[in-house]
Amino acid sequence: MIPVRAYFTLFTGYLRPHRRTGVLLAAIMLATIALQLANPQLIRIFIDEAIAGTAVGSLVPLAIAFMVIAVLHQLLMVWATYLAEQIGWSATNQLRADLTDHVLHLDMGFHKSTSPGALIERIDGDVTALSNFFSSMIIKIIGNGVLLVGILVLLWIESWIVGLSITTLILVTFLGLFRLHGVTVPWQKDIRATSAEMYGFIGEQIDGTEDVEANGATGYMLSRFDDIQRRWLPQVVLGWTGWALMWVSSMALYFASLMVAYLLGSWLFGVGTLTIGSVYIVFQYIEMAHRPIEQIREELIDLQKAGASIDRVQELMDTRTRLVQRSNATLAMGPLDVTFQDVTFTYDDEAGDEIVLDDVSFVIPSGRVVGLLGRTGSGKSTIARLITRLHEPQVGSVSVGGRATWDVDMTDLRRRVAMVTQDVQLFRATIRENLTFFDPDVPDDRLFEAIERLELDSWLATLPDGLDTVLDSGSGGLSAGQAQLLAFTRVFLRDPGVVVLDEASSRLDPATEALLERAVDHLLEDRTAILIAHRLETITRADDIIILDEGRIIEQGQRTRLAGDPNSKFSKLLATGMEEVLA
């Protein structure tokens, strides 16, 4: 079954802004169809008049009219094609934007389970298939469908016998094409799914090339690549088989129509029912009918891809985030308190999944700096993600500024709670754009004020073009420490009430370490902070300590008190060497 209804249901809202362009396009299409149908009539008159002995001077206007109509038809077709492409790409570009916005609002559980390559294929590849189909559908399926109906009407006018024969052949052929379409849509869906898997795999390998080669995993990765290709090839072959079956059907219709035209044309001319001009026009209209049938067949193949893409786009749109927004309250300015109340969390709701946090409760008063310690996998980074509401706890609640995070407007929460990790994301853009996240409303004066406040003005002066220095994507051509400087400046510009430093100082290069230490001091001034680190130097800034082990809090209290208690876990960490114990 052709998913035309599903297609138009999906795009109704996106087509509405283009109503006027659509009406203009429809008028142009009707005009081009009328011109196409009119020209053979001129040739029929020309032939019959010439055979009847009409003077050449009387035939010249017919020839001129034929050429004028042909040129006008081509000009209108170019205009119609432009308008159709404009509508198709405008509508689907908006769909891309909406899909991207929808994905960005999904929880991290979705992003952890979906590779970037697969998302790119969904948002760009599937929508491109819809865009190609949509722009072609308007001008080809609908236009050629109307043209085909016009041709059949004129054939019935010339001879009901010819009209009935050709109409029957076309109806039988299209019935077969529609049946084939219903069979081949699942084939195209499999192709799109494997294509997304392939691009996801390639994206992962590009990101992990250094680790793959360093650890000798190249052979394994090539084996995985080969496995995906071996599954993909038969699917593509099957997809092309569907195209071949449709092509055979349309060509069989064409040759059968020509045979009918020869047989009936010669018979009807012999009995005097048709003139030579009428026989010509029968052949001409059958020849004309072949082109719209071929184009409709090609669009049916695109419709197979569109049908698969519609399912996948709709599936993505139907994906719901676990981050339920109960109200849209905003947070006060200044430092904010943080409260975890009986929080239990797993990265998958399915039974039997490992519990990452188990009944965790603590309170961080506003303005306090807390050091969060624990072995790898103890749940430290998970706490940071829950505070920034990248995830939602299955049990318990997380509150910031006296409000549960699900009651706070998401944009305001992300503005007031900032997290800096050791992996800083930089974009291929200027330093100014990287600091402001492409917000043109942030004035340079504010940027310079933040940079000077963090004592980074001397570092900025070493860059060739200052704020206009263009960075490469990824690391941006900067050291890990320099990237951290940009991350701190980003946070400082937002003036958050809570700052989470998740291993943010674990990869400092010696040249910028002192500068970064001073920047951290300024960043933590008059803010609530959570420091997640293995390094003892970082924890000396903390007012309080929380130690995690296997998702549970095993110790918490004031840093100075715990350090002075020889029986405390923290005191033993200090005595033993925190880096060695927590590694």
**Mean pLDDT within 468-494:** 76
Flag the least confident range among 20-34, 229-243, 412-426, 559-573.
229-243
State pLDDT tens for residues 530-547. 998 666 667 888 899 999
State pLDDT tens for residues 4-16. 566 666 666 777 7
pLDDT of residue 186 exceeding 80? no
- Ordered structural domains, the chain, with CATH: 4-318 (1.20.1560.10), 338-582 (3.40.50.300)
| Confidence band for 366, pLDDT divided at 50, 70 and 90 | very high
**Amino acid identity, position 253:** L
Q: Could you tell me which residues come within 8 angstroms of residue 85 by beta carbon, excluding any fewer than 6 positions away?
A: 135
For residue 513, give Cα distances in angstroms to 179, 197, 425: 69, 41, 20
Position 535 scores a pLDDT of 64
Residue pair 515/456 in contact (Cβ under 8 Å)? The answer is yes
**Mean pLDDT within 253-276:** 72
pLDDT of residue 341 exceeding 90? yes
Taking the C-alpha atoms of residue 209 and residue 201, their distance in angstroms, rounded to an integer, is 12
State pLDDT tens for residues 438-466. 888 888 888 888 888 877 787 778 878 88
Alpha-helix runs per DSSP H in 16-159:
19-51, 56-104, 108-113, 116-120, 127-136, 143-158
Position 303 scores a pLDDT of 66
**Mean pLDDT within 89-97:** 84
Cβ atoms within 10 Å, residue 355: 16
pLDDT of residue 351 exceeding 50? no
Taking the C-alpha atoms of residue 553 and residue 551, their distance in angstroms, rounded to an integer, is 7
Q: Report the candidate in 427, 462, 459, 457 with the shortest Cα–Cα distance to residue 444.
A: 457
Sheet holding 357-364, edge to edge: 357-364, 338-345, 395-400, 403-404
Rounded to 5 degrees, what are φ and ψ at 534? -100, -10
- Please give the torsion angle defined by the CA atoms of residues 38, 42, 44 and 46, in that order, rounded to the nearest 10 degrees: 180
**Pairing outcome for strands 528-532 and 395-400:** unpaired
Taking the C-alpha atoms of residue 300 and residue 303, their distance in angstroms, rounded to an integer, is 5
Position 399 scores a pLDDT of 92
Taking the C-alpha atoms of residue 418 and residue 349, their distance in angstroms, rounded to an integer, is 27
Residue pair 1/311 in contact (Cβ under 8 Å)? The answer is no
Tell me the range of 286-295, 346-355, 456-465, 505-514 where mean pLDDT is highest: 456-465
**Mean pLDDT within 186-194:** 74
Within its chain, how far is the Cα of 222 from the centroid?
27
For residue 80, give Cα distances in angstroms to 37, 68, 135, 150, 372: 17, 18, 10, 19, 64
Tell me the range of 19-23, 270-274, 294-298 where mean pLDDT is highest: 19-23
State pLDDT tens for residues 400-430. 988 888 888 888 888 899 888 877 777 888 8
Six-digit token string for 253: 């219709």
| Confidence band for 353, pLDDT divided at 50, 70 and 90 | low
pLDDT of residue 23 exceeding 60? yes
* Percentage of the residues of the chain whose pLDDT score is greater than 90: 8
Taking the C-alpha atoms of residue 539 and residue 527, their distance in angstroms, rounded to an integer, is 16
List, in sequence order, every residue forming a beta bridge with 343; answer none if it has no partner. Answer: 360
List, in sequence order, every residue forming a beta bridge with 372; answer none if it has no partner. Answer: 532, 546
pLDDT of residue 363 exceeding 90? yes
